[in-house]
Amino acid sequence: MSRDLPESDWKVFRKLREVALARFYERVVGEIGTIASTGATSYHDRYQKIYRLIANRDEELARAFDDPRRSQAILQLAAINSYGLLSEEELLSFTPETREVVALLSKPGKSAGGRKRA
């Protein structure tokens, strides 16, 4: 499902996309730090876990942030939302119609993100 965002939502999306991207990177670095500092496993095991984590997060990163275009913004916004990268207040910056579509697409099992919000 793809539909163009209204101009006002596109402007908000471009700004909040950068905020969400920084939060995404922060989260991933934190996850890596947690794995790396777990002394109960070998360095080899930690390396493998970090490698798998980065591979999984790269897929999420691509889905939510690669090639931002207005025609794909609603799907990317839904993915960003499903990863829990925007606050409720930030989501209120979008029109009610956009919020409704994003909420629908952000539900677990949908193609936009597929993960529950944290």
How many domains does the chain contain in total?
1
Write down the pTM of the prediction. 0.85
Q: Is 79 exposed, middle or buried (0-12, 13-18, 19+ CB in 10 A)?
A: buried
> Does residue 51 form part of some domain?
yes
> Does residue 117 form part of some domain?
no
Looking at residue 114, its pLDDT comes to 46
**pLDDT, tens only, 54-80:** 999 999 999 999 999 999 999 999 999
Question: Which tops the pLDDT comparison, 2 or 17?
Answer: 17
> Does residue 66 form part of some domain?
yes
> Does residue 118 form part of some domain?
no
Task: State the residue range of the domain holding 39.
Answer: 7-105
The residue type of 83 is Y
Res 118 pLDDT > 60: no
> Does residue 110 form part of some domain?
no
The band of 98, judged by pLDDT with boundaries at 50, 70 and 90, is very high
Cβ pair 56, 114 in contact under 8 A: no
Looking at residue 115, its pLDDT comes to 43
> Does residue 113 form part of some domain?
no
> Does residue 112 form part of some domain?
no
